[in-house]
């Protein structure tokens, strides 16, 4: 039998490499996960141990799926950056101690003897939503990943925009207030310091320290309790009229709106997709957010701009990583 060409192969493997978990999924070209595995990264055991874990997880994933290697086109990895997409090297990863200039693509190609593509994790999530989620068929799209931190992915003319040396789309580190709080990156007033889960919690903590009382949240200076608090309870408390949380939540939404208005005026995308924990708020997030964007962006840039919540939930990254291997819907499955 003649060797199968890429587009005739039916599956690819997506890997989402995070500081806490490694997820590996075998995905068909319509975005259906056939089999997936999630294991703790155990990053504290060091770089080599983590690489070994990634390799073992992919092997186990293939075995469990019972899919023939011949039917798998390759492996796509979404990883924290900064990284070199072309050479497949992770330059540095704050949540993976010891990872300096790691040639992950080469290591996996040697191990599995198939094509490997490396991509920034937020770009992978954007690509996932573009291929299989809220952004299907949309060629100009910007995705915000709103989690512990804030990342982003920019799709222009149907392609991921990387910038000069793969540093584009750091949407969380857009300065939205020159006198704002210090961000993890060292700058002041970044979007991440206001609208990420960590930013929201830190701002609540600081207000409590300043002596502002909350009607519903009662933890004084207990940092651990604050960090374990779910965003849901914070938003609920704000809705019940608690002044402290209401102020912080309104600010988080308002600064996110400022960031989206900036993006709308600079890139004029067709769609902004939001993914991550905060999007569980649904319309309670979207309605004030759209109002803020409308107030600030050019009318012509925001009148047809769709601001939506992603459809893939926590799977956006792993599906996007798998989809890096092919142009969606251009295969025979
Ligand atoms: Zn920053």
Sign of CA dihedral 98, 101, 105, 109: negative
Mean pLDDT (the chain) is 92
Domain end, chosen from 66, 90, 120, is at 120
The rounded Å distance from CA 183 to ligand 1 centre is: 5
| HEC string for 28-57 | ECCCCEEEEEEEECCHHHCHHHHHHHHHHH
SS3 251: helix
Q: Alpha helices, DSSP H only, in 66-196?
A: 104-112, 121-132, 191-195
- Find the CATH number of the domain harbouring 73: 3.30.420.40
The rounded Å distance from CA 198 to ligand 1 centre is: 12
Asked if residue 257 and residue 182 are part of one domain, the reply reads yes
Q: How confident is the model at residue 211 (pLDDT cuts 50, 70, 90)?
A: confident
Asked if residue 260 and residue 155 are part of one domain, the reply reads yes
The rounded Å distance from CA 199 to ligand 1 centre is: 11
Does the pLDDT value for residue 80 go beyond 80? yes
Nearest Cα neighbor of 248 from 226, 280, 225, 276 is 226
The rounded Å distance from CA 185 to ligand 1 centre is: 4
> Residue 251 CB: number of other CB atoms within 10 A?
17
The rounded Å distance from CA 190 to ligand 1 centre is: 5
Per-residue pLDDT of 24-63, as tens digits, reads 999 998 999 999 999 999 999 999 999 999 999 999 999 9
The rounded Å distance from CA 172 to ligand 1 centre is: 6
Domain membership of residue 127 (yes or no) is no
The pLDDT of 209-225, averaged and rounded, is: 74
Asked if residue 176 and residue 73 are part of one domain, the reply reads no
The pLDDT of 126-148, averaged and rounded, is: 96
pTM of the model: 0.93
Domain membership of residue 150 (yes or no) is yes
Domain membership of residue 78 (yes or no) is yes
The pLDDT of 110-120, averaged and rounded, is: 97
The rounded Å distance from CA 192 to ligand 1 centre is: 6
Domain end, chosen from 120, 149, 175, is at 120
Q: Alpha helices, DSSP H only, in the chain?
A: 47-65, 104-112, 121-132, 191-195, 197-209, 223-228, 231-239, 243-267, 283-296, 299-302, 316-323
The rounded Å distance from CA 34 to ligand 1 centre is: 37
Domain end, chosen from 93, 120, 147, is at 120
Domain membership of residue 333 (yes or no) is no
Domain membership of residue 128 (yes or no) is no
> Residue 30 CB: number of other CB atoms within 10 A?
12
DSSP states along 212-247: ---SS---TT-HHHHHHS-HHHHHHHHHTT-HHHHH
The rounded Å distance from CA 153 to ligand 1 centre is: 16
Domain with 140 in it: 134-310
The rounded Å distance from CA 197 to ligand 1 centre is: 14
Domain membership of residue 204 (yes or no) is yes
The rounded Å distance from CA 272 to ligand 1 centre is: 21
Q: Hey, which residues does 154 pair with through a beta bridge? A: 142
The rounded Å distance from CA 145 to ligand 1 centre is: 14
Asked if residue 142 and residue 205 are part of one domain, the reply reads yes
CA pair distance 161, 159, nearest whole angstrom = 6
The rounded Å distance from CA 98 to ligand 1 centre is: 22
Spatial strand order of the sheet with 159-160 comes to: 159-160, 150-156, 141-146, 271-275, 306-309
Domain membership of residue 322 (yes or no) is no
The rounded Å distance from CA 287 to ligand 1 centre is: 26
CA pair distance 18, 77, nearest whole angstrom = 11
Of the listed ranges 43-52, 73-82, 221-230, the one predicted with least confidence = 221-230
CA pair distance 8, 6, nearest whole angstrom = 5
Domain membership of residue 96 (yes or no) is yes
Asked if residue 301 and residue 187 are part of one domain, the reply reads yes
CA pair distance 11, 185, nearest whole angstrom = 38
Asked if residue 152 and residue 45 are part of one domain, the reply reads no
Asked if residue 291 and residue 168 are part of one domain, the reply reads yes
Asked if residue 116 and residue 141 are part of one domain, the reply reads no
The rounded Å distance from CA 256 to ligand 1 centre is: 14
Asked if residue 229 and residue 191 are part of one domain, the reply reads yes
The rounded Å distance from CA 149 to ligand 1 centre is: 9
Q: Report the domain count for the chain.
A: 2
Of the listed ranges 18-32, 88-102, 118-132, 200-214, the one predicted with least confidence = 200-214
The pLDDT of 3-22, averaged and rounded, is: 81
The rounded Å distance from CA 68 to ligand 1 centre is: 44
Asked if residue 244 and residue 150 are part of one domain, the reply reads yes
Does the pLDDT value for residue 1 go beyond 90? no
The rounded Å distance from CA 202 to ligand 1 centre is: 14
Asked if residue 149 and residue 56 are part of one domain, the reply reads no
Peptide bond into 16 cis (omega under 30): no
Q: Give the percent of the chain with pLDDT over 90.
A: 84
CA pair distance 84, 86, nearest whole angstrom = 6
Asked if residue 152 and residue 84 are part of one domain, the reply reads no
> Residue 46 CB: number of other CB atoms within 10 A?
14
Cβ contacts of 312 within 8 Å, gap of 6 or more: 128, 129, 132, 133, 134, 275, 319
Residue that is written with structure tokens 């540095």 in the block: 92
The rounded Å distance from CA 299 to ligand 1 centre is: 29
Q: Which residues of 135-160 are buried (b: 16+ CB within 10 A; e: fewer)?
A: beebebbbbbbbbbbbbbbbbeeeeb
């Amino acid at each position: 039998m003649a060797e199968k060409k890429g587009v005739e192969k039916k599956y690819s493997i997506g890997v989402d490499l995070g500081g806490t978990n490694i997820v590996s999924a075998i995905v068909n070209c319509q975005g259906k996960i056939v089999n997936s595995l999630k294991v703790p990264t155990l990053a504290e055991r060091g770089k080599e141990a983590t690489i070994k874990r990634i390799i073992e997880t992919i092997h186990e994933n293939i075995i469990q799926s019972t899919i023939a290697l011949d039917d798998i086109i390759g492996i796509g990895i979404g990883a924290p950056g900064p990284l070199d997409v072309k050479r497949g090297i992770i330059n540095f990863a704050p949540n993976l101690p010891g990872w300096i200039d790691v040639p992950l693509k080469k290591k996996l190609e040697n191990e599995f003897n198939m094509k490997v593509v490396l991509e920034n994790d937020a770009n992978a999530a954007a690509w996932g939503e573009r291929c299989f989620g809220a952004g299907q068929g949309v060629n100009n799209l910007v995705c915000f990943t709103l989690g512990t931190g804030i990342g982003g992915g920019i799709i222009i003319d149907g392609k991921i925009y990387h910038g000069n040396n793969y540093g584009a789309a750091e949407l969380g580190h857009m300065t939205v207030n020159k006198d704002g709080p210090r961000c993890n990156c060292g700058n002041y007033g970044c979007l991440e310091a206001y609208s990420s889960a960590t930013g929201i919690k830190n701002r609540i903590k600081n207000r409590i320290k300043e002596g502002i009382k909350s009607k519903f949240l009662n933890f004084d200076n207990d940092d651990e309790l604050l960090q374990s608090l779910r965003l849901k309870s914070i938003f609920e408390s704000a809705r019940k009229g608690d002044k402290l949380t209401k102020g912080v939540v309104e600010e988080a939404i308002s600064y996110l709106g400022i960031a989206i208005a900036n993006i709308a005026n600079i890139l004029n995308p067709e769609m902004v997709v939001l993914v991550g924990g905060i999007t569980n708020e649904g319309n309670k997030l979207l309605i004030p957010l759209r109002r803020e964007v409308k107030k600030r962006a050019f009318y012509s840039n925001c009148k047809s701009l769709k601001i939506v919540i992603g459809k893939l939930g926590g799977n956006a990254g792993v599906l996007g990583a798998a989809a890096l291997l092919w142009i969606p819907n251009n295969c025979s499955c």
